[in-house]
């Protein structure tokens, strides 16, 4: 996973999606189990998610917030002053275009052949006509919407439960299933096999950091009007993330 060097802090995008979905209608994606198995047990109510490692997750969450407050947000603020909004959106599309392999593979794994075909078509069109992915020509002209799938969702479609909730350093909210899925998706990056380990780590680390800074610059208002240390942000992010993942699996 190159976790130590891929310090792009994708927690910010996850936090953003989590807070956006906090007020969404709650539907129960879990099944109540009689035995507390790490892979199978979930609380039946979304208000009480399965979080047996909260004593560790809470300090990690605080660490991620501090990292955002003192490192990522200041850097993203400076970046925002020199990069126009249109440029930020183009860079965001560029990074999404690079992630074709996991999306394509997981669409196939889930039997979503139409989604897999769209991903190939989108990558081809956006790479050639869209300036290596800076513009989403495939959607604008052909109406080919992205079909985002990951290995965590693939495992869910095969009946693997999410397992305990986990707050990862740098990367943010996850579950045991999604953490494993993230590792598998990361292993699909062709740079792992075409370049030396040092080259791969350096390039992927740089791209991840650049992506994180760009994403954060697009969400500078995050937490601006919230005293993050007086509200239950941990619970809000947790509920939002689990709801967002449940919705992604259902789609």
Burial 40-78 (b: 16+ CB within 10 A, else e): bbbeeebeebbbeebeebeebbeebbebbeeebbeebee
The domain segmentation of the chain, as residue ranges, is 11-250
Element (H, E) at 130: none
**CA distances from residue 51 to 17, 164, 200, 238 in whole angstroms, order as listed:** 20, 6, 34, 9
Please answer whether residues 222 and 69 qualify as being in contact, where contact means their C-beta atoms are separated by less than 8 angstroms. Answer: no
Q: What percent of the chain has pLDDT over 70?
A: 77
- The pLDDT tens digits of the residues spanning 94-120 come to 999 999 999 999 999 999 999 999 999
Number of residues assigned to the chain: 251
CB atoms within 10 A of CB 35: 6
| DSSP code per residue over 70-112 | IIIHHHHHHHHHHS-HHHHHHHHHHHHHHTHHHHHHHHHHTT-
- The pLDDT tens digits of the residues spanning 12-51 come to 334 434 433 333 333 443 444 444 444 444 433 444 689 9
Model confidence pTM above 0.85:
no
Please answer whether residues 12 and 72 qualify as being in contact, where contact means their C-beta atoms are separated by less than 8 angstroms. Answer: yes
pLDDT lower than 70: segments of the chain: 1-48, 222-231
């Amino acid at each position: 996973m190159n976790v130590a060097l891929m310090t792009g802090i994708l927690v910010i995008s996850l936090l953003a999606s989590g807070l956006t979905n906090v007020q969404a209608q709650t539907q129960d994606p879990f099944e109540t189990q009689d035995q507390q198995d790490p892979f199978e047990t979930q609380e039946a109510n979304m208000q009480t998610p399965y979080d047996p490692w909260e004593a560790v997750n809470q300090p990690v969450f605080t660490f991620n917030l501090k990292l955002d407050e003192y490192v990522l947000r200041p850097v993203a603020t400076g970046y925002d002053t020199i990069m126009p909004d249109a440029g930020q959106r183009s860079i965001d599309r560029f990074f999404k275009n690079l992630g074709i392999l996991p999306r394509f593979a997981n669409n196939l794994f889930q039997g979503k052949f139409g989604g897999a075909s769209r991903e190939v078509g989108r990558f081809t069109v956006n790479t050639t006509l869209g300036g290596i992915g800076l513009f989403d020509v495939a959607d604008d002209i052909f109406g080919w919407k992205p079909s985002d799938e990951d290995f965590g969702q693939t495992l869910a479609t095969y009946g693997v439960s999410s397992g305990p909730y986990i707050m990862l350093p740098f990367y943010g909210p996850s579950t045991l299933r999604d953490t494993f899925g993230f590792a598998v998706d990361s292993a699909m990056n062709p740079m792992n096999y075409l370049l030396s380990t040092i080259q791969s780590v350096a390039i992927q680390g740089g791209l991840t950091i650049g992506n994180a800074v760009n994403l954060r610059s697009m969400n500078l208002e995050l937490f601006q009007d919230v005293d993050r240390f007086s509200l239950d942000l941990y619970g809000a992010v947790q509920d939002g993330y689990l709801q967002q993942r449940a919705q992604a699996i259902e789609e």
